[in-house]
Amino acid sequence: MKFQIVLLTILIGAFTFLSSCKKDEETPESTRTELLTSHSWKISQVLANGTPVDDNAIQLILGSGSSLAQLTRSSILFKTDSTYTATDQQTDSTFTDTWYFTDNETKLRLKSKSDTFDFSIDALTKEELNLSTRYTVSGVTPTIVLQLVP
């Protein structure tokens, strides 16, 4: 009889303990749009064919009047209405154009008045955005990688 009372006490205690535990609610993963539009992105590094390049090299590679050259020295705020605002860090000028995902959200298309750029999304998290594209200048087509951080 004593054994049954001890067993019953243990079972009641276990049941009480288990029923009092709350299940942690799972946080749903952010969508790619939520990740992209959660904050402004600043270009931390530009690579040409895997080699880090500075602003002077970018101007030589892309041409100083290139829209992509302007983009590489900008911070970019993507908005949920499919527009983006880029602020040129050298001149403090801004321009607003449109963006959208393509290829099942694996690519990002940026449209401006004069150019359209298609970037492969190499990484997209809360802390990093890496975009790559091939861009032809004077018959040469380097792979340009933009590494962005919040």
- Name, of 6-20, 32-46, 132-146, the range with top average pLDDT: 32-46
- Name, of 14-23, 70-79, 103-112, the range with top average pLDDT: 103-112
Task: Tell me the pTM.
Answer: 0.75
78 vs 98: CA distance, rounded Å: 9
pLDDT of residue 128: 96
Give the single-character DSSP code of 73. Answer: T
Mean pLDDT computed over 104-130: 93
Mean pLDDT computed over 54-72: 69
pLDDT of residue 13: 60
Mean pLDDT computed over 2-23: 58
Mean pLDDT computed over 54-65: 69
Is residue 67 scored above 70 in pLDDT? no
> Where in 3-92 does DSSP place strands (E)?
41-48, 51-53, 74-78, 83-88
pLDDT of residue 101: 97
pLDDT confidence band for 92 (50 / 70 / 90): confident
pLDDT of residue 42: 92
Q: Give the other-Cβ count within 10 Å of 24's Cβ.
A: 6
